[in-house]
Chains A and B, each alone.
Chain A
Amino acid sequence: MKVKRASGRAWNELRKMKAKVGVVPNADGSAIFEFGDTVAIAAVYGPRKLHPQHMQDPATGILRVNYDLLSFSVADRKRPGPSRRSTEISKVTEWALAPAIDLEAFPNTVVDVQIYIIQADAGTRTAGINAASMALAHAGIPMRDLITSVAVGKIDEQIIVDVDKVEEDYEGGEGATDFPIAKLARSDEYTLLQLDGKIPPERFKEALDAADKACQEIYEFQKKALKEVGE
């Protein structure tokens, strides 16, 4: 490895994960998912009545996602209320989750997914997607598969897995690249693709390979947490 990670992790090493379902008793489904110091909580309500009525679709239920940072989840306090950033992430998260779920059995309804970041250390959208996917499953929504998400990246020329905040701000050589992806856990179909940074096209495959391997690990972790609903 040419560049050492500040955290001391190997290039393909995820941060310590934590996950638990049933964390919001009021919700139809809920989960918390952590990548190291990044903590995301998600709650699902529905299928329930969709207001206003003109938005209803008689052919299928609708998925609606809201993502936001809590004010104290970041060093410089985030002003309450939606921002351009949270609006964008809400939408790409919705697109990331939609391919897994099937709401045809619930026409005219909505399934609301609420994702909040309690503590942020980069990778908030990917942690949020992992939490939301588990919460949707926990809510009993028909799904083809779980959605699993991770940010791969690159610092200088080194591909890395699960980018943290220090790495996001890396400035040496080719700089930092953040490449959050999400996929259907059991197939090679991607549902979230975003990137900012510098990555040569011929290294895309390498990055996706790293992401696939990390997602396999995350998927096993999600499964384990969903099966650990004890008494």
Chain B
Amino acid sequence: MENEINEAHQESKEDSVSKKRKIVVPGEFIVKGEDFLPGDGAKREGDNVIADRYGLAEIAGRMIKVIPLSGAYVPRRGNVVLGRIIDVLFNGWLVDVDSAGNAFLPIDESPRFINRNEMDQFLAIGDVLAAKIWSIKGRGIDLTLKGRGLGKLDGGFVFRINPSRVPRVIGREGSMITLIKEKTGTNITVGQNGWIWIKGDNLDNEIKARNAIEFVADKVHVDGLTDKMEQWFSN
């Protein structure tokens, strides 16, 4: 165990951009040294940085992170999520975003003026939307539709994957999702909560896009995933 870590450490010293990843369990030693900064999922214990949760430990330069491999969605400010309208209230909409708290979209956060009497013409129960989390407090998550690409999703369909697999579905700088969009000619919106919306011009392409995303999401290890995806499409 120690050896692997030392190698990882050396490698990151030689090349601060290269990343070394391995699966760690909570409480497990990741790296020794005052210089390292524990990020998400990691913490300091004396001289050591240890894992605070289960996942892939990533040493990128001085930064140590533990990236979750599984688990429920934990909302964060600024996340774009997909949700489903579960109730229309007098001053906004109650939205299911598949997290522990209820999400609320105030009427003032819609992109244009909405008459209070016509709220369910804009968003009705069962409708799906892409929204951004602009605050989290106590029991609630507040959403906004002000921003590019946000709003009600028309046509297509929504399905869910494990939220921890969202980053790899998106890929480095969006490379994976761009590949899937191009190969299937579909429009795709990925919510950080693991809900994904797909719309294409025909059913077969839409089904193919979903199968491709599920293929990526089911893989535990991310190495060479774009190549595997290319291969999947050529079969």
Q: Say which residue of A48, A142, A146 sits within 8 Å of B72 (CB atoms).
A: A48
Point out the residues of chain A lying under 8 angstroms from B220, CB to CB: 229-231
Q: Say which residue of B23, B26, B52, B70 sits within 8 Å of A227 (CB atoms).
A: B23
Q: B221: CB under 8 A from chain A?
A: yes
Identify the closest chain B residue to A228 (Cβ). B23
In the complex the two chains form, is A140's CB within 8 Å of B69's CB?
yes
**Binary contact readout A50-66 vs B (1 if CB under 8 angstroms, 0 otherwise):** 00000010100100000
Q: B125: CB under 8 A from chain A?
A: no
- Chain B interface helix/strand/loop/mixed: loop
Q: Say which residue of B26, B54, B68, B218 sits within 8 Å of A144 (CB atoms).
A: B26
**Binary contact readout A200-231 vs B (1 if CB under 8 angstroms, 0 otherwise):** 00000000000000000000001100110111
In the complex the two chains form, is B70's CB within 8 Å of A138's CB?
yes
In the complex the two chains form, is A47's CB within 8 Å of B52's CB?
no
Q: A150: CB under 8 A from chain B?
A: no
* In the complex with contacts A46-B100, A223-B28, A229-B69, A140-B55 CB distance below 8 A: yes
* In the complex with contacts A48-B100, A140-B53, A141-B53, A146-B71 CB distance below 8 A: no
Point out the residues of chain A lying under 8 angstroms from B68, CB to CB: 140
Point out the residues of chain B lying under 8 angstroms from A22, CB to CB: 70
Point out the residues of chain B lying under 8 angstroms from A107, CB to CB: 138-139
Counting contact residues on chain B (CB < 8 A from A), the size range is 20 to 34
Q: B25: CB under 8 A from chain A?
A: yes
Point out the residues of chain A lying under 8 angstroms from B218, CB to CB: 231
In the complex the two chains form, is B53's CB within 8 Å of A143's CB?
yes
Q: B78: CB under 8 A from chain A?
A: no
* In the complex with contacts A48-B72, A49-B100, A137-B54 CB distance below 8 A: yes
* In the complex with contacts A46-B100, A231-B221, A223-B25 CB distance below 8 A: yes
- The answer for the CA separation of A45 and B99 in the assembled complex, in Å, is 11
**Binary contact readout B12-27 vs A (1 if CB under 8 angstroms, 0 otherwise):** 0000000000010111
Point out the residues of chain A lying under 8 angstroms from B69, CB to CB: 140, 229
In the complex the two chains form, is A227's CB within 8 Å of B101's CB?
no
**Binary contact readout B68-82 vs A (1 if CB under 8 angstroms, 0 otherwise):** 111110100000000
In the complex the two chains form, is A226's CB within 8 Å of B138's CB?
no
In the complex the two chains form, is B52's CB within 8 Å of A143's CB?
yes
* Residue in A29, A107, A142 whose Cβ sees the most chain B Cβ within 10 Å: A142
Min C-beta distance of A110 to chain B, whole Å: 8
Q: A121: CB under 8 A from chain B?
A: no
**Binary contact readout A162-199 vs B (1 if CB under 8 angstroms, 0 otherwise):** 00000000000000000000001110000000000000
Q: A145: CB under 8 A from chain B?
A: yes
**Binary contact readout A73-117 vs B (1 if CB under 8 angstroms, 0 otherwise):** 000000000000000000000000000100001111100000000
Q: B116: CB under 8 A from chain A?
A: no
* In the complex with contacts A58-B138, A108-B138, A140-B69, A47-B26 CB distance below 8 A: no
In the complex the two chains form, is B100's CB within 8 Å of A140's CB?
no
Point out the residues of chain B lying under 8 angstroms from A105, CB to CB: 74
In the complex the two chains form, is B138's CB within 8 Å of A47's CB?
no
* In the complex with contacts A107-B138, A108-B100, A28-B23 CB distance below 8 A: no
Identify the closest chain B residue to A227 (Cβ). B23
- The answer for the CA separation of A222 and B25 in the assembled complex, in Å, is 9
Q: A69: CB under 8 A from chain B?
A: no
In the complex the two chains form, is B72's CB within 8 Å of A143's CB?
no
Q: A139: CB under 8 A from chain B?
A: yes
Interface residues of B in 209-226 (CB under 8 A from A): 218-221
Q: B164: CB under 8 A from chain A?
A: yes
* In the complex with contacts A28-B70, A140-B69, A141-B71, A226-B100 CB distance below 8 A: no
Could you list 8 further interchain pairs (A-B, Cβ under 8 angstroms) beyond the known A109-B101, A142-B52?
A45-B72, A108-B101, A109-B100, A140-B53, A140-B70, A142-B26, A146-B27, A231-B221
Closest CB pairs A-B (n = 6): A140-B71, A143-B26, A145-B27, A109-B100, A137-B54, A140-B68
Sample 26 A-B pairs with CB under 8 A, ordered by A number: A28-B70, A28-B71, A47-B74, A56-B139, A58-B138, A100-B26, A106-B100, A107-B139, A108-B138, A109-B101, A137-B26, A137-B53, A137-B54, A139-B71, A140-B70, A142-B41, A142-B52, A143-B52, A143-B53, A144-B27, A186-B27, A223-B25, A223-B28, A227-B23, A229-B23, A231-B219
